Amino acid sequence: MQNSFTEENYLKIIHALSGREGLEVSTNALAESTSTRAASVTDMLRKLAEKGLIHYKKYQGVRLTESGEKVAINVIRKHRLWEVFLVEKLGFGWDEVHDIAEELEHIPSDHLVERLDSFLGHPRFDPHGDPIPDAKGNLTEPDYLILTDVEIGEKVRMMGVLDHAPSFLQHLDRAGITLGCTLEIKEINEYDKSASVQIEDKQTLFISLEVSKNLLVQRR
């Protein structure tokens, strides 16, 4: 039996919320992320458990089974490949692609995904810096740091974002902060923890703590 659109969304969200350690995910957290009520989540969990896609015992939270993990990673692979397509081939901005990819990720042909992957040149990362699982389902999260963990004086390379909201991405565009650019922390303001950051050895500007918390970077 095929998994529905809705089931795939649940699996993807369970994957995201359980993090790399595969922690248990709570009913309420899922209700929040799926924009449904806890009672509806319970219904769906029973169904997913019956299909062998999650481990579920009442009141104990859920984890993906191997088979559920496989489905989730495949959906993530499709989501991220389609985002690359939209940005690289169709010229969309990185702030415009999430909702469209949210639909495209449920198109079911394996043949399609593999051809799309070739057409795009087997990209390793999506337009937000997130890694793209390979055809076998291997997904390795690179361990970047968050900008708030960088010391004054350090030069880092911008590698990804934690928040994918269009408004955040547009804010970065206006500041000239793009994937791969160089950032150097000049100073950190005691009062509000905002940072003065030099971008690409050019202009220096203030970055709020809110923004710093959502920027993934790499030492260099």
| Least spacing, CB of residue 103 vs Mn ion, in Å | 11
Which entry of DNA, a second copy, Mn ion, none binds 71, CB below 5 to 8 A by partner kind?
A: none
Residue 77 CA to residue 138 CA, distance in Å, equals 10
Q: How many residues bind a second copy (CB under 8 A)?
A: 18
Could you tell which of Mn ion, DNA, a second copy, none binds residue 108, using a CB distance below 5 to 8 A set by kind? a second copy
Residue 23 interacting with DNA (CB under 7 A): no
Q: Helices H, strands E: what count in the chain? A: 8, 8
Tell me the closest approach of the beta carbon of residue 104 to DNA, in angstroms. 18
Instruction: Report what 96 binds from Mn ion, DNA, a second copy, none; CB cut-off 5-8 Å by kind.
Output: a second copy
Helix, strand or coil, per DSSP, at residue 216: strand
Element (H, E) at 112: helix 110-119
- Tell which one of 46, 89, 122, 193 touches DNA (CB under 7 A): 46
User: Taking CB under 8 A as the criterion, which residues in 109-138 touch a second copy?
Assistant: 109, 111-112, 115-116, 119
Residue 104 binding a second copy, by CB under 8 A: yes
Q: Does 33 bind DNA (CB under 7 A)?
A: no
For DNA, the binding residue among 11, 12, 27, 127 (CB under 7 A) is 27
In what helix (H) or strand (E) does residue 160 lie, and over which residues does it extend?
strand 155-161
**Comparison of 39 and 138: residue with beta carbon closer to DNA:** 39
DSSP string, 123-148: -SB-TTSPBPP-TT--------EEGG
Does position 213 interact with DNA (CB under 7 A)? The reply is no
Distance CA 196, CA 118 (A): 41
Question: Burial of 166 by CB count in 10 Å (0-12 exposed, 13-18 middle, 19+ buried)?
Answer: middle
Residue 220 engages DNA in binding (rule: CB under 7 A): no
Question: DSSP letters of 28-43?
Answer: HHHHHHHTS-HHHHHH
Residues making contact with DNA (CB under 7 A): 4-7, 26-29, 34-47, 56, 58-61
